[in-house]
Structure 1
Amino acid sequence: KSLKLLASVRSAGRKIKFRGESLEVEELIPSSFKGVDLAFFSAGGGRSKEYALKAVESGALVIDNSSAFRMDEEVPLVVPEINPEQAFRHQGLIANPNCSTIQMVVALNPIHRAANIRRVVVSTYQAVSGAGASAMEELKQQLRAWARNEPMEQEVFPAQIAFNLLPHIDVFMENGYTREEMKMVEETRKIMNAPEMRISATCVRVPVLRAHSEAVWVETEKGLSETEARCLFEEAPGIVVRDDRSDGGYPTPWDVAETQETYVGRIRKDLSHPSGLTFWVVADQLYKGAALNAIQIAEVLRQGEQESMTSKNGE
């Protein structure tokens, strides 16, 4: 067993430490996947479109973090807490959902299974790390400039991000929504196998370094009490409930950063709708929203293979 790191020629030769070992990044070329069993793609949709199918043709199973194949009907879109069985219908390629979608559907799933969600309205508060390392550095530089009473420079974001909110993530679509917002709509329906679910999203970039937060409102077919909803969240895999009605008794991005779970708090009945429920969801989008979910998909497949082998040996 071995680990190979692949990237563009610009990053080739870079050394990365893993489990005490220094690994050198190799240049990504069409023949890079010879002898590779499992390939994680996290280099953007363009690279995935160019190389993912080449990797599959070479015999690798590809788990892709980009949006390139998510809405392809032939490609499973998997969140292991929700639809692990979909991973086994892969044809060499499995898509990892959008980070904001993942944490929301993890929270929606127990409610949907118990009470059938009809409608979802979500507002997201997304950390700058979702836009990459350069975005994090831009926020830090703007904060330093403010502290020194110097002009703030901006390159990554369309407006100043320090001390500001930007209701604009990804490009605007013809319907007035952004691509990020439409990802949440379309991916949620696919993951939850709920094509008729009505969903509206507003995605906002906030001056936080890490971990995305979401205010979620749902309308259910069957009414749920606060207590019932809280119990469903507490029993659901991957969820930690932090819902004390006191100062600090709720999840925040600062507390959740570098953790693996999806945190739910501020659980309450909606005052404007008899079947409405409102809650607050926070997760580290670099862990559960990306890398961790991809690893969990691989673990689901490995466990399935082991169970299959055990079953055959027992026959």
Structure 2
Amino acid sequence: MSYNVAVVGATGNVGREMMNILDEREFPVKEVFAIASRRSVGMEVSFGDKTLKCQDLATFDFSRCDFALLSAGGDVSKEWAPKIAKTGCVVIDNSSAWRYDMDVPLIVPEVNADAVAGFRKKNIIANPNCSTAQLVVALKPLHDAATIKRVVVDTYQSVSGAGKEAMDELWNQTKGIYVTDAPTPEVFTKQIAFNVIPHIDVFLDDGFTKEEWKMVAETKKILDPKIKLVATCVRVPVFVGHSEAVNIEFENPISAQEAREILREAPGVLVIDKREDGGYITPVECVGDFATYVSRIREDPTVENGLSLWVVSDNLRKGAALNTVQIAELLINRGLIEKRA
């Protein structure tokens, strides 16, 4: 059985990656439609060996489709996801617009696949924040084994998480520095080239940023509301690939070797952990891969039952496009969606 799929936001970083992953994973596609805003109508995007022309979001008939994969920003999703869902087309949304709605499942298939069963309440499924997705993939098997009490995570997030303009800014600033042009921040609050910025999304009243709050709220919704988590989210001059330094405190004893063995068997995880020069994964090496990589697994001697990990993943893939496609696959594999007439 094959399905019609609309990719909304097809000209963006994540939209293009959705096209690539649908093709790479041989998703059972009958027809793919590239959907964008009116100003991008007619723009060409690739799907496998085909070239698709973008169609107008405002006029496209979503009743023709079984799935709509949305990556067009929160404002667009708030307006259009309910409209699309009412046509009977299942919406899988990559923005933050629906993540905290109690009637919308927030899904990472390796972690909480069973929660997808409630999607018919609004016919919308939410994709988590990129930094949360890779984190919970690594946490889930360890939580099952020893019960996590508290997590302290510091993220090192690539500029692609802020969109194409952010990638262009890093590129232009880097080139400019070499020819003595002073960098001019436009997308970011400060120079990003050869720098790090401890600020992602807006500041909240308590001093945390919304990105940091998202990691707390989403981990609780996806994994366990009892887990205490605190995050510091940092933008780094890397084009693609998010990294996280993760410190975990457990209720029950767990050794580094036990954690290593558990993670090696966990779905979606690849362990690269040699205690030698280069025996770990960096963002450059994860680009284009599906896995969440875990390295530097070690015991934390400062707390009882503590571990520290290094977690790396392609944020455009597992953090966005791949997870979206995996959710669609989950619905098909569990028989929760039938092809529409």
TM-score bracket for this pair, using the shorter chain length: over 0.9
Contact 1:224 1:275 survives alignment (8 Å): yes
Alpha-carbon distance between aligned partners in 1 of 2:280 and 2:83, rounded to the nearest angstrom: 45
2:333 aligned with 1:299: no
CA distance in structure 2 between the aligned counterparts of 1:189 and 1:223, rounded to whole angstroms: 22
User: Which of 236, 252, 255 is equivalent to 2:282?
Assistant: 252
Report the alpha carbon displacement of residue 258 of structure 1 after superposing the two structures with TM: 1.2
Give the counterpart letter for 2:191 in structure 1: Q
1:37 aligned onto 2:54: no
Residue 31 of structure 2: SS of its match in structure 1? coil
Counterpart-to-counterpart distance in 1, 2:81 and 2:179? 46
Distance 1:199 1:2 in 2: 42
The 3-state SS of whatever aligns with 2:276 is: coil
For residue 253 of structure 1, report the CA deviation from its aligned partner. Answer: 0.3
SS in structure 1 opposite 2:204? coil
What amino acid does structure 2 have at the position aligned with 1:208? V
| Distance of aligned partners of 1:274 and 1:258 in 2 relative to their CA distance in 1, 3 Å threshold | same
Q: Which residue of 1 aligns with 2:197?
A: 166
Deviations 1:260-300 (A, max 9, x none): 10000000000201211100000000001000001001111
Whether 1:280 and 2:310 are equivalent positions in the alignment is yes
Q: Using the TM superposition, name which of 299-308 and 99-108 deviates more.
A: 299-308
Distance in 2, Cα, partners of 1:273 & 1:211: 30
Partners in 1 of 2:189 and 2:137 — Cα distance?
A: 31
Q: 2:36 aligns with which of 1, 4, 7?
A: 7
1:196 to 211, 221, 226: 226
> Offset of 1:17 from its aligned partner?
2.0
Aligned with 1:24 (options 40, 43, 53): 53
Label 1:30 to 1:221 Cα distance change in 2 as closer, same or farther (>3 A): farther
The answer to whether residue 292 in structure 2 is matched with residue 262 in structure 1 is: yes
Match in the other structure for 1:208: 238
Matched, 1:81 2:102: no
Q: Distance in 1 between matches of 2:337 and 2:265?
A: 25
Residue number among 191, 199, 218 corresponding to 1:187 in the alignment: 218
| Distance (whole Å) between structure 2 residues aligned to residue 263 and residue 134 of structure 1 | 27
The equivalent position to 2:135 in structure 1, one of 84, 104, 119, is: 104
1:250 maps to amino acid: Y
Report how far residue 30 of structure 1 moved.
Answer: 5.9
Cα deviation, residue 34, structure 1: 2.5
SS in 1 for 2:33: coil
How far residue 32 of structure 1 moved from its aligned partner, in angstroms, is 3.1
Q: 1:169 to 1:306 in 2, by over 3 A?
A: closer
User: Considering only aligned residues, what root-mean-square deviation do their CA atoms show, in Å?
Assistant: 1.5
Equivalent residue number for residue 264 of structure 2: 234
SS at match of 1:264: strand
* Residue number in structure 2 paired with 1:312: none
1:103-144 Cα offsets, whole Å, 9 max, x none, are 000000011000000000000000011011111111111111
1:210 and 1:285 in contact (8 A); partners too: yes
Could you tell me which amino acid in structure 2 is paired with residue 246 of structure 1? E
What amino acid maps onto 2:297 in structure 1? I
Q: Percent identity?
A: 51
Gaps of 5+ in 2: 1-29
Can you give the 5+ residue segments of structure 1 that lack an aligned partner in the other structure? 309-315
Is 2:177 aligned against 1:157? no
**Retained in 2: the 8 A contact 1:124–1:214?**
yes
User: What letter matches 2:101 in structure 1?
Assistant: D
Q: Structure 1 residue 271 and structure 2 residue 315: aligned?
A: no
TM-score w.r.t. length of structure 2: 0.88
